[in-house]
């Protein structure tokens, strides 16, 4: 089994570099054989070994693959981890994190979480004897009420999806450590450009790499990053045993996307800030959820926890009901109606019938995901074109 510390020795000089430089160079060294600036894609499923019973660095691509290793090296450096693991999808990565738990264990997760995570926890983990309680992680009293003697993991999202709630990760970590819990953070919406949960004390960071890391709606993958080598070894064992690994081609595309991540995120944030202000002043909009607005209850924490921006995701409730929201999402042209998020092109979706349709309806409404809620993934197009598109749809 390979070590989660594999890149610290050969690439230690890169750890003095700034974020954007690391995103381009760490894990992307020139090919030693040809001098190629871009590392080749290793599509091989198996690798010749030096002798029977002796194993080289790579033996079988389910266990480790050079192209996948490059991506893991990059994201681990950007998240300040000791190692990372690349999975076939974001949900495969989340499931990988849950596999460290045993029958009878209990998870506390936020109320503002991705619908696929809700489904995994309630419909899959629950079936194998892992219990879950949803709690508003912005309120420490709710965490106190949710904890049980068998609680093992606190699972956070910040910003939350779809209500863009902001959780104080450092404060939650402090609470969790008092109770000897592991802390996992879905960092998909913030990305390491804006928030680095391991630096705030979390144990596991998860990404749907399909989203901002890839950034171009053309790759599927998930990532786990950890700061403890023994936890990395445990997770790698589980990943290798179950086999839900990322393909070399997806790893290559996501590695390529990460090179422009910092630049893209800055533009996502700038555009989203202007759009959020526009929506807040529109008479057809009842409420806007964006942590960069003064009306957002988590703005102060977001300013402390997010580095130079508030993300590219906005949700808003329109005046009316399901039919009114549906009409608006059907009217936009530039904002394309599709699930997913975090790409260069703008997307619009209706959480109640799309990304969060897997919620039990009672739970969905209980946790504030109304029928009139619309979610935007603000792309990097010219913001004037984005505003014109929304104005026409709202009119």
One of 68, 69, 211, 375 is an active-site residue; which one?
Answer: 211
**Taking Cα atoms as reference points, which of 94, 88, 152, 146 lies closest to residue 124?**
94
One of 6, 20, 60, 62 is an active-site residue; which one?
Answer: 62
One of 112, 186, 203, 389 is an active-site residue; which one?
Answer: 186
**87: its two tokens:** 């999975």
Low-confidence ranges of the chain (pLDDT < 50): 1-11
| 111-168 confidence digits (pLDDT tens) | 999 999 999 999 999 999 999 999 999 998 999 999 999 999 999 999 999 999 999 9
**116: its two tokens:** 């696929």
The verdict on whether 186 is a catalytic residue reads: yes
Contacts 24+ apart (CB under 8 A), 200-204: 200/169, 200/170, 200/173, 200/305, 201/169, 201/170, 201/173, 201/174, 201/177, 202/156, 202/169, 202/173, 203/227, 203/228, 203/231, 204/97, 204/231
Give me the pLDDT at residue 266, please. Answer: 98
Contact between 299 and 168 under an 8 Å Cβ cutoff? The reply is no
The verdict on whether 114 is a catalytic residue reads: yes
Give me the pLDDT at residue 6, please. Answer: 36
The verdict on whether 62 is a catalytic residue reads: yes
Q: Which domains does the chain have, with CATH numbers?
A: 6-258 (3.40.640.10), 262-394 (3.90.1150.10)
**Taking Cα atoms as reference points, which of 215, 182, 299, 235 lies closest to residue 76?**
235
Give me the pLDDT at residue 14, please. Answer: 56
Pairing of the two strands 151-157 and 182-186 = parallel
One of 22, 105, 114, 359 is an active-site residue; which one?
Answer: 114
Give me the pLDDT at residue 393, please. Answer: 97
């Amino acid at each position: 089994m390979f070590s989660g510390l594999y890149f610290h020795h050969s690439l230690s000089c890169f750890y003095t570099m700034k974020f954007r430089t690391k995103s381009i160079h760490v894990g992307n060294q020139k090919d030693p054989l040809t001098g190629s600036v871009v590392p080749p894609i290793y599509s091989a499923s198996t690798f010749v070994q030096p002798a029977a019973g002796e194993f080289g660095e790579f033996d079988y691509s389910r266990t480790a693959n050079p192209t996948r290793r490059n991506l893991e090296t990059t994201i681990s450096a950007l998240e300040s981890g000791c190692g990372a693991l690349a999975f076939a999808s974001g949900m495969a990565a989340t499931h990988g994190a849950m596999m460290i738990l045993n029958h009878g264990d209990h998870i506390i997760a936020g109320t503002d979480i991705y619908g696929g995570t809700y489904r995994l926890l309630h419909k899959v983990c629950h079936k194998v004897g892992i219990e879950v309680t949803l709690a508003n992680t912005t309120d420490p009293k709710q965490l106190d009420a949710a904890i049980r003697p068998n609680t093992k993991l606190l699972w956070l999202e910040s910003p939350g999806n779809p209500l863009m709630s902001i959780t104080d990760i450092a404060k939650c970590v402090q609470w969790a450590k008092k109770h000897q819990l592991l802390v996992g953070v879905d960092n998909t919406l913030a990305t390491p450009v804006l928030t680095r949960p391991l630096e705030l004390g979390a144990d596991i960071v998860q990404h749907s790499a399909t989203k901002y890391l890839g950034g171009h709606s053309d790759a599927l993958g998930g990532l786990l990053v950890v700061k403890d080598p023994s936890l990395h070894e445990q997770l790698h064992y589980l990943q290798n045993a179950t086999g839900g690994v990322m393909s070399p081609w997806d790893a290559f595309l996501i590695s390529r996307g990460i090179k422009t991540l910092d630049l893209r995120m800055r533009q996502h944030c700038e555009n989203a800030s202007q759009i959020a202000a526009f929506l807040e002043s529109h008479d057809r909009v009842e409420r806007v959820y964006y942590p960069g607005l003064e009306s957002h209850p988590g703005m102060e924490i977001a300013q402390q926890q997010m580095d130079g921006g508030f993300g590219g995701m906005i949700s808003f409730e329109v005046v009316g009901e399901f039919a009114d929201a549906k009409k608006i999402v059907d009217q936009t042209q530039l904002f394309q109606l599709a699930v997913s998020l975090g790409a260069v092109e703008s997307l619009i979706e209706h959480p109640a019938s799309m990304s969060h349709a897997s919620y039990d309806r009672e739970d969905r409404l209980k946790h504030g995901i109304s029928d009139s809620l619309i979610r935007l993934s603000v792309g990097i197009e010219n913001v004037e074109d984005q505003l014109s598109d929304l104005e026409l749809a709202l009119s």
